[in-house]
Chain A
Amino acid sequence: MRFVRLLAVLVVTAAVVGLLLWLPDSTPPERVALDRPTIPAVFESGAPSATWYCAASSFGTPEPPAHEVVLTNSSGSSASARLTPFGETAPAEGVTVDVPANGATTVDLAQTFLTTGLSIVVESPAPGLVVEHRLSDATAADQVPCATLTSDLWWFPALNSSRGATALLTLFNPFPTDAGVDVEVVLDASARTPAELSGIVVPPRSIKVVDVGAVVQRRDVFAIVVRSRSGRVVAEATQFFDGSAAPRGLRMNVGVAGESPRWVFAGGFTGEGVAETAVVVNPGNERVSAEIRVTPYGGSATAPEPIVLDIPPLRYGLVDLSAEGRIPPIGYHSVTVETDGAPVVASLLTTITGPPAAPADPAAPAPDSSVRPALGSGVGIATGSPVAAGFWIVPALDASAVPAPVVFVHNPFSTPVNVAVVPIDAGLDPAAQSEATTEVEIQAHDSVALTVPAASVAGQLVGLRLSAMAPFVAERLVTYPGQDELATGSAVPGRSERSGPVLLPALRPNG
């Protein structure tokens, strides 16, 4: 009995100890994050509908610009979309448009709704529909994907209020209740909320355009953050440069709805007549050290040393990449901004002030898109991408422009990726589309630049669908027929029912 008693006590004690070792710690509630990218993204399938918010409708010129909405349907069946306009007063009746299968449709809002100054909500049961909007006048144009979400926080890391530039902020409230908004201005040495930009009330289902440049005057670079006290808005900034102090041009900039410790710009370029500046905003309360890595196309193995930027709390830092000697003076490159984990917001500003340098050897071929866009002027702003995705949609473009639009594809990871490039061209039947499909291999940490193919039917818009088995990042550069104007920005990452874009993990060039 004594042995049994001892054995029992030992067994019980051992069992208790075993339990303690099995689950040694108490763990707090796990707080997961929903799969919600902060940049415009598109569902390939699985979502019941798609909603896009196109906010900006002007850029400060006396004459209202042309405002077009470009709807790109990459699916094999036609899609309908309902466009609901919102002005400074109550919304007008919407219209429904059809988008052909594997094609695109452009809607001129002024013609459709017989008025200007409208923001648009596009809703469609086709989740794969991508919506961009374009503002243009005779001398300037830009187009960006519309927003796919509303937010109570929007970052604009790089605005300009220097001479000859306007900086308009369009606040679009599509909801049935008021939105109260504060606009905080972040400068290189201070941050403040000007009284004029505090407590802005955006009535329900309407827009309000705020001239930020009139409040923050003569600043080459400043950042703003739009915070909602109540309600949610879509914020978009437009900047028009009249050419008096800089190249004439237009920058459209949908705000960034969230911060990230990593941003990738798939395509940038330097060269004669090109000024490229990376701006990084530190929204936090602690100093951030950001590493800016520039990787020339085809040169990932010999990438230059990264540039380290030390940014105080609630300040921005900038790097003139075109002035950095370690960066090759000509050619495309990708730019990666990465911190040690602290979230930041980054933008890449590009200004073209002259045509590419003529080759020293007259017999040499003229500069082409593999080096830099053959434009003589233009301004562009890219927000970059905090995510990588298995497929991307490049919204439809006019591929007849000269120079041709370019798509940049970057592989941020350490294994090569094969990207299938499928044209979105309504004129192609499935067989032709299959023939037109190409595949591009991208080495680790390397990038390629793809020229958008010509449309099968003259004047038709052409988009691209890029897909791969592994995630990658895509960006596109737009040029406009007859205009010396540049538009840069991210393509639209795709999401499938099973997986969406992945937030970029820590990126190491040779890791």
Chain B
Amino acid sequence: MGAPPTRPPEEAAIPEERPNGPHDHPFESSDLPVDGDEGADPDPSAGFVWTEDDDAEDERWGLTTEAGVVGTGVPPVVAVVVARDPGAWFEDTLRSLARQEYDECSVVVVDNASSTSIAERVGRVLPHARMVRRETDDGFAAAANEALAFVDEAPFILLCHDDVVLGREAVTALVAEAFRDNAAVVGAKLVDWRNPQVLLSVGLGVDDYGAAAELVDPGELDQSQHDQARNVFAVSTACMLLRSDLFRSLGGFRVDIPIVGEEVDFCWRTLIAGGTVQFCPKAVVRHRSRFDERRPIDRDHLAVRHQTKMVLANVELRRAWYRVPLSLTLALFHTVASILLGRFQRAGDDLSALGRGLLALPRTFSVRRSIRRFRRSHDREFEPLRHRGSYRLASLVRTDDGENRLAAATEGSRSYFRQLTSSDSPVATALVVVTAAILFIGTRRLFTGEIPVMREFVDGAQGARALLGEWWTAWRAAGLGESTVPPPVVPGFGAVSGVLLGSVDLARRLLVLSPLLIGGLGAWKLFSRSRSTAARAAAVSAYALAPLALNALGSGRLQALWAWAIAPWFLRRVAARAEASPFTPPSVRRSGWFRHVAGNALLLAVVGAISPAGAALVALSTILLAVGPFLAGERRPAVRMVVATIGGTVGAAAVLAPWLAASVRSGDLSSVTGVWFGRMKTPSAADLLSGSYGPVTYGYLGWGLLLAALVPLLIGRSWRWTWAFAGWLVALGSWAGTVALVERGWFAGAGVELVLVPAAIGLSVAVAMLAFAFNEDVVGSNFGFRQIVSGVGLVALLLSFVPALVGASDGRWYLPAGDYSRALNLVARGDDFATLWVGDADVLPVAGWELSGGSGLAFGLSEGFEPTITQRYRLDGGAPVQQIDRALSAAMVGGTARLGQALAPMGIRYVLLVDRPAPEPFAPLEVPPPLGAESALREQLDLDQIPLAPGASLFQVDAAWPLRSNVTGLELPGGGSASLAEQLASPAVPAPPAVLGLGPGTSFSGELPAGAAVAQAVTADPGWELTASDGTIAERSDLFSWGQLFSVGPAGPATLEWRTPQSSRGLQAAQVAVAIVLLAAVLRRRRAPVRRVRNVERPVDFDKPAPRRDVQRVDLDVPPENSPVDPT
């Protein structure tokens, strides 16, 4: 299909005169558009800059102007302009193409699904141009691939955006450069649309991880510093000359990288194919470059995602083995660093990119195969073109204005700090710094030191796989096992461990320590939109240095820590969206309600995954705090806060539904709340109010915080007063609830700290109001009562931090430096047995069931000696727990001397009686067991006491059975024994041999003899099936009224496996679906007024031209029927 000349011959004249010097620019400033006048472009093809070197080179290639470069005999070029709803500038773009001095340049305009046809506009300027109409916008890459249809027409294709203006000699220069350097891809020098002295792009630097950055700084002036043609790694697609044959060989752009990064990928593949990418300084192109205004996309998000794709697909195999893991590690580091810096969106982008990269692995392999076919050069050959280091890491310190130089970023940070320290409240600034310092110093030994397994600081079991497996199989290792979908924290812990390359310890450390950072940041960000450093400082110091978090950390209360950590974030989110003062400035753009509620739900679900009661308390305190705006006359914000919180609670409940349902069905109140009855020391109300309920004792100084919080009630006005009142309301409610629970002994497990979380957030809000009130209501007024009270409040607040300062000297907030595992590991290791923990519910590291008989003791089970996160959450435990309860209760009062005989078939090899959360010398005695409890265990005839650390009495059960044993020779009565009494009356038997492996799990295989009877020490459940080699399923029967026995037929290999019930699968599916919907809603970008780019995920065969899409070809000379273009 021949292309008619694109311009009249008279316009093809070579410029008579060249610019006078290298600094003369082809675009005169007087001709440049101003704002609002973008379409009024002057002559866009003004002169260009030539250098003597270029002339010599051109002469060598016969491209000198004297030799008639322009005109007949030059290779044809097809300019492909991808346009989508272009603005008034589009005509300038077209005109600049029409005025090209290059003779053989035809134009194809690809209308990428513009909302209104642009054919008429094209026809007016370029009547001979060809139009290709795409009905859907699949991104720039797909649209640019339309050029594949024209590769046979010309050796070169010129890709252009719809917002560029080419200098008259641009095409000539690009073609000349392509010949001169034998380049496959040539990019133009992009300059600013309005100010051509400002450089926009002279090529792209790309690092080892696919991240690209412009080789010029933003705002860099063109002073000929980039006027040397050179090889680069990539150039912009804004104006890119391609060799047609290579374009066809590569299959065009990857359509799964539709935008942002498509040029890097294409150039990368060009380099792989043996081509070169060249920057041509002679081709000067003005670029409007306001893409974000036209199409609101998240560049960072897409960039990260596409970088992952590029690295996975393009890196040579011989380098992929270290480059890909390195890239993953970098991404993880970047994620963590982003979180630490409070850039959660970036962290989310990283995680999203990783997830998508993993999901797209099959397609990645397909792309790699395609690349292997055209690979002509190794990565090392274009290694010099790469950027050393990591753009992404540098971006961590990038300032918001887009500066991407580390030095500039450092400067930005410095200026931020200058701004902070030069604020009108140096005291506030100092307070923030001191708070952070105290937190850091006080926690320093926990960063690398031992975090004991005690109370709720549980272990991570056997690793990510085991934890994720518990969710997938819906068989929990709590008690002797139970068929339940575990609480989300279990798979969550596993997932984090997996992301951290299987490091359970690091995941656990994050689980325990990150709340301190999250909560502190949350308090700092709570009033961030108020622009009051003083209020923010007051809030963060009152929240982070208050007794709750430090004592929760020091005494092993994970539920309280997480509820505390999330509470300020939740309040900030809800109050800001509700537009309550002072949380929202009027100019903030807000997300949709569904998205907002989904975010609320996810936040509460994070808390609820660890502490359902904690999530409820966070929601409840937020609802109560709505009293603040309500009393201030902001009724609608108050109602919105309540509605949003309730909506979030419902959503979170949906995510947590499987565990909540199980708790309601077969648990008790403690199963849901994590709060149990205990006999530990009960603090007085004064202790609770002043913070003297944990290892960090505040004493009288703790009252300072209350005093400070009381001040805004005395001096505050308007919303300062109402928020302070609401804070007090929440705090009083929290204290009242805590006192009520403490009085009844119901504060074991989660501890008083959990119930005091609302008090912490309430006081923090009230203290922040003190700062607000001081600024708004006190400063400027005459000296008097308000000033005095404010001063007293400030002093009281500062004094209340002294105990935290003292406590910080410990370096670990008095958290014990060791746990029972040290001593227990000397006794035995492994998980092929169970341990029965006995003690007060508050000192056990597992969730305890209260022992019958009113002794106040509780008991729990762990696999091996290591209590895991699963075992911190319990339901009723089923028949085995009832059996243990009966036997242990009887033993405690002398009702049996054969406790071991009852426990042995359960695989319980050890009984451990503890009176403190960690042994001496790490922890003092906290709750002594009842008098006679240890004696009761010592007088059991089949328990042998093993000396252990003070604080723990360890007993070994005689002849404990393996978890799966061959009991063929034991002559057990039918069904074992109907009652505990019968079981105990039977003569003691030796431990039977183990079969089907030793450890716990849900699938076991092994050889079994013919006629074997296999006993399994788990809660009896029909979901367990033992399948013989011939496919027959062994008969299952009850054993000892709690376990199960399989009667095996033929000898041979057999498999004992847990079959997940369909009901559990349904719950899991519902849980995942709800989580995905909420996540999708939250991650969904704000809908733009124009259609957004779809990320097309279709396989591409790079050896073939891209499949033609539903395009409409319009020959403007012969308009089709019903064409809106007027041929006249």
Q: Separation in Å of the B853 CB from the closest CB of chain A?
A: 7
B285 CB-CB contact with A under 8 Å: no
Q: Pick the contact of B939 from A16, A23, A37, A149 — CB < 8 Å?
A: A149
With a cutoff of 8 Å between Cβ atoms, the chain B residues found around residue A192 in the complex are none
- Give the contacting residue for A177; candidates B688, B714, B945; CB below 8 A: B945
User: Hey, what's the 0/1 contact readout for A88-120 against B, CB within 8 Å counting as 1?
Assistant: 000000000000000000000000000000000
Interface residue A363 (Cβ < 8 Å from any Cβ of B): no
Let me know if B685 and A34 touch, CB within 8 A: no
Contact (A123, B981) CB under 8 Å given A9-B710, A26-B683 = no
Most buried by A among B680, B685, B927, B942: B685
Do A19 and B689 touch (CB < 8 A)? yes
**Contact between chains at A36 and B894 (CB < 8 Å):** yes
Task: Tell me, yes or no, whether A51 is within 8 Å of chain B by CB.
Answer: yes
Determine if B679 is an interface residue (Cβ-Cβ < 8 Å).
Answer: yes
Taking CB atoms, residues of chain B closer than 8 Å to A127 are 895, 981
Query: What is the CA–CA distance of A127 and B684 in the complex, to the nearest angstrom?
Result: 44
> In this complex, what residue of A is CB-closest to B854?
A32
Partner among A36, A47, A121 whose Cβ is within 8 Å of the Cβ of B935: A36
Which residues of A lie under 8 Å from residue B56 when comparing CB positions? none
A30 to B928 CA separation, bound complex (whole angstroms): 8
Which residue of A12, A26, A80 contacts B682 across the interface (Cβ within 8 Å)? Answer: A26
Of A8, A31, A46, the contact of B931 (CB 8 Å cutoff): A31
The answer to whether A15 has its CB under 8 Å from any CB of chain B is: yes
B1069 in the interface (beta carbon within 8 A): no
**Alpha-carbon distance between A73 and B649 when the two chains are bound, in angstroms:** 61
B residues near A15, Cβ cutoff 8 Å? 732, 736
Q: Nearest residue in A to B715 (C-beta to C-beta)?
A: A5
In the complex, whether B681 has a CB less than 8 A from a CB of chain A is yes
Q: Is the CB of A123 within 8 A of B898?
A: yes
Contact at B930–A29, with CB atoms within 8 Å?
no
Contacts of A495 in B (CB 8 A): 893
User: How close is B926's CB to chain A, nearest CB, in angstroms?
Assistant: 7
Inter-subunit contact A34/B855 (CB<8 Å): yes
Q: A49-B984, A51-B896, A123-B985 are in contact. Are A29 and B681 (CB under 8 A)?
A: yes
Residues in A neighbouring B898, C-beta threshold 8 A: 49, 51, 123
Contact: A150 with B939, CB < 8 Å?
yes
User: How many B residues have CB within 8 A of the partner chain?
Assistant: 65
Given A29-B928, A34-B855, A48-B981 contact (CB < 8 Å): yes
B298 touches A (CB below 8 Å) = no
Q: Is B923 an interface residue (CB 8 A)?
A: no
Chain B residue nearest to A21 (CB atoms) is B685
Question: What per-residue 1/0 map shows which CB atoms of B221-254 lie under 8 Å from chain A?
Answer: 0000000000000000000000000000000000
Q: Is B941 touching A174 in the complex (CB atoms < 8 A)?
A: yes
CB < 8 Å neighbour of B980 from A8, A23, A48, A121: A48
In the complex with contacts A48-B984, A232-B938, A176-B958 CB distance below 8 A:
yes
- Residues of chain A within 8 A (CB-CB) of B743 are 22-23
Judged by DSSP, the binding face of A is: loop
0 or 1 for each of B743-780: is its CB under 8 Å from A? (1 = yes): 10000000000000000000000000000000000000
Tell me whether A33 and B931 are in contact in the complex, defined as CB-CB below 8 angstroms, given that A16-B689, A23-B684, A41-B894 are known contacts: yes
Alpha-carbon distance between A66 and B995 when the two chains are bound, in angstroms? 49
A49 to B931 Cα, complex, angstroms: 22
In the complex, chain B residues whose CB is within 8 Å of the CB of A150:
897, 938-939
Cβ of B479 to closest chain A Cβ, rounded Å: 20
Of A23, A32, A49, which is within 8 A of B985 by CB?
A49
Question: Taking the nearest CB of chain A, how far is it from the CB of B793, in angstroms?
Answer: 13
Take A29-B681, A49-B981, A123-B985 as given contacts and tell me if A35 and B893 are in contact as well, using a CB distance cutoff of 8 Å: yes
Alpha-carbon gap, A150 to B982, bound state (A):
23
Tell me the minimal C-beta distance from B737 to chain A in angstroms: 11
In the bound complex, do residue A48 and residue B896 qualify as a contact, i.e. CB atoms below 8 Å apart? yes
Quick one: closest B residue to A150, CB to CB? Answer: B939
Once the chains are docked, how many angstroms separate the CA of A176 from the CA of B725?
67
Contact between chains at B896 and A149 (CB < 8 Å): no
Q: 8 Å CB contacts to A: which residues of B663-685? A: 679-685
In chain A, residues 122-176, which have Cβ atoms closer than 8 Å to a Cβ of chain B? 123-125, 127, 148-152, 174-176
Q: Knowing A48-B886, A175-B941 touch, does A25 contact B684 (C-beta < 8 A)?
A: yes
Q: Tell me whether B895 and A20 are in contact (CB under 8 A).
A: no
List of B residues within 8 angstroms of A43 by Cβ: 895
Whether the pair B713, A9 counts as a contact (CB closer than 8 A) is yes
Task: For A25, list chain B residues within 8 Å (CB).
Answer: 684
A34 and B892 in contact, given A5-B721, A51-B897, A51-B941 (Cβ under 8 angstroms): yes
The yes or no answer to A62 lying at the interface (CB within 8 A) is no
In the complex, what residues of B have CB within 8 A of residue A47's CB?
890, 893-896
Residue A124 contacts which of B725, B887, B890, B985 (CB distance < 8 angstroms)? B985
- Within 8 Å CB of B713, what residues of A? 5, 8-9, 12
Residues on B with C-beta less than 8 A from A30 are 679, 856
Q: Is B687 an interface residue (CB 8 A)?
A: yes
**A residues near B725, Cβ cutoff 8 Å:** 8
Q: Are B896 and A34 in contact (CB under 8 A)?
A: no
Nearest chain A CB to B1112's CB is how many angstroms away?
71
**A23 partner residues in chain B, CB cutoff 8 A:** 682, 684-685, 688, 739, 742-743
B944 and A31 form a contact (CB under 8 A): no
Complex-state Cα separation, A37 to B931, whole angstroms: 12
Interchain CB contact (< 8 A) of B895 among A12, A46, A121: A46
A27: CB under 8 A from chain B?
yes
CB of B932 closer than 8 Å to a CB of A: yes
Q: Could you say which residues of chain B place their CB within 8 Å of the CB of A121?
A: 941
How distant is B842 from chain A, measured CB to nearest CB, in Å? 9
B1093 within 8 A of A: no
Residue of chain A at shortest CB distance from B678: A29
Does residue B686 face the partner (Cβ distance < 8 Å to A)? yes
At the interface, yes or no: B987 with Cβ under 8 Å from chain A?
yes
Knowing A23-B743, A51-B941, A176-B944 are in contact, say whether A32-B679 is a contact too (CB < 8 A).
yes
- The yes or no answer to B432 lying at the interface (CB within 8 A) is no
**A26 pairs with B689, CB closer than 8 A:** no
CA gap between A175 and B892 in the complex, in Å = 17
B544 to chain A, nearest CB (A): 23
Candidate in B688, B894, B982 with the most chain A CB atoms within 10 angstroms: B894
CA gap between A130 and B941 in the complex, in Å: 19
Query: For the complex, is B511 an interface residue (Cβ under 8 Å from A)?
Result: no
Chain B residues with CB under 8 A of A123: 897-898, 984-985
A500 touches which of B682, B684, B893, B926 (Cβ 8 Å): B893
| Interface flag for B735 (CB, 8 Å) | yes
Q: Are A9 and B679 in contact (CB under 8 A)?
A: no
User: How many whole Å from B325's CB to the nearest CB in chain A?
Assistant: 52
CA–CA, A177 and B940, complex, Å: 12
In angstroms, how far is the closest chain A Cβ from the Cβ of B11? 79
Complex CA distance for A148 and B713, rounded to whole angstroms: 67
Residue of chain A at shortest CB distance from B855: A34
A129 to B894, CA, bound (A): 14
Chain B residue numbers with a CB within 8 Å of A27 are 681-682
The smallest C-beta distance from B920 to any residue of chain A, in angstroms, reads 17
Is A482 close to B, CB under 8 A? no
Taking CB as reference atom, which chain A residue is nearest B732? A15
Q: CA separation between A274 and B927, bound complex, in Å?
A: 52
A352 to B735, CA, bound (A): 70
Q: Which residue of A lies closest to B856 (CB)?
A: A32
Can you give 20 contacting A-B residue pairs, CB < 8 Å? A9-B710, A9-B714, A16-B706, A22-B743, A23-B685, A26-B683, A29-B927, A30-B856, A31-B930, A36-B932, A43-B895, A46-B890, A46-B895, A47-B894, A48-B886, A48-B890, A48-B979, A151-B935, A176-B944, A232-B938
Closest 3 CB pairs of A and B: A47-B895, A125-B985, A34-B932
**Additional pairs, 13, CB under 8 Å, beyond known A29-B927, A34-B855, A177-B944:** A16-B706, A21-B685, A23-B685, A23-B739, A26-B681, A26-B682, A26-B687, A29-B681, A121-B941, A149-B894, A149-B935, A149-B939, A232-B938
Q: Which residues of A contact B (CB under 8 A)?
A: 1, 5, 8-9, 12, 15-16, 19-37, 41, 43, 46-51, 80, 82, 121, 123-125, 127, 148-152, 174-177, 232, 495, 500
